[in-house]
Structure 1
Amino acid sequence: MALVKISRKFTFPNMKLYNGTTNPDDHIASYKQRMFAIVIPRDLYEACMCKSFGSSLMRSMLQWYTNLPNNSITSFAQLTNTFVEQFTSRKKLEMLFGDLYQIRQHHNELLREYVGHFSHEKVSIPYCNQETVIDAFKKGLLPDGELYKELINFNYTTMEDILAGTWIEIRWEEDEVHRNKLNTVNDRHHCRGDRCHDT
């Protein structure tokens, strides 16, 4: 359907412009309610509903509307279905990305355990944004840890580079844990030997 040019400027003084933080279905319902208050000729109804929809959006949502390909929308129902699909799925992804920021390395938690937990959560998120993953991984590390300091000092741009450095740190950490255990065992044997010698 070729949409006619609408000369009248629609404004919605009582309507909050959609900014992506609320339910897109609720926004559509609110938009329809306000449009019903305007007398629109039957033959121009679809065109008016579609053309004026952009005036109820803001920021990246308005940009999405503006970037819709010419002649890609044939009805208001199609427009709203596309809108809901776009912003409901995006909202879910934002929530999933937010889950990565909840993962924190605890004190006395080995780096291998943190990486395992983080990787397990990451693979459950489709279409992971590389910058978000890297940022969440860094912020989850103990701030006084050696790996955190290294990642802050060097600007790694891929998760592969970060994990390569991380596995070096994991091997060093596990070697240190192993050495400490051996030292503890040797100290116990030494103490037992001293007591046996004293008696």
Structure 2
Amino acid sequence: MKIPKRFHMPDIPKYIGTTEPNEHVTAYTCAINGNDLADDERESVLLKKFRQTLSKGEMIWYHNLPEYSIDSFSMLVDAFVKAHVGAIKVETQKSDLFNVKQRDDETFREFVSRFQIERMDLPPVTDDWAVQDFTQGLNSRSSITSMELKQNLIEYPVIVWADVHNRYQSKIRVEDDKILRAASVSWYQNRPW
């Protein structure tokens, strides 16, 4: 089937082989579906115009496809994704959470914040994993607060993340109170009158 004269090729970034191939296919398909095409026209356009979304380097892959080996857009997509599987982002593993460690120069508050951000970026992790990693990640050399909480979590183990959350929140409040008291004493001692 021929491509309809009314078809306008949307502006789609060229695929250069370094990003997730499924994301490229989705962007291309959505852009083509934005045209007013009949179902039979859509399949033909998707199949015939795909090569225009490939960079010069990726065109080599396209031109190396065996002649008459692709009968449908879904076959083309399958071949494309299989050929570019190396570019697919590797999903972060749950065990990556065990790599989150408090640095020597990192405050307790900074570590808690970074740990929570890292935890949100991972697939769901069971509470016992999160508790264990958080405890192991605390650096006793970083601050007194980190040392005290680590000792507390080892001495009085918990299984539920909410318990760890409550303990570190109370440590942060104590730390904040110490900072406020020190600032108040300093202000009182340095007052102008």
Q: Structure 2-normalised TM-score? A: 0.44
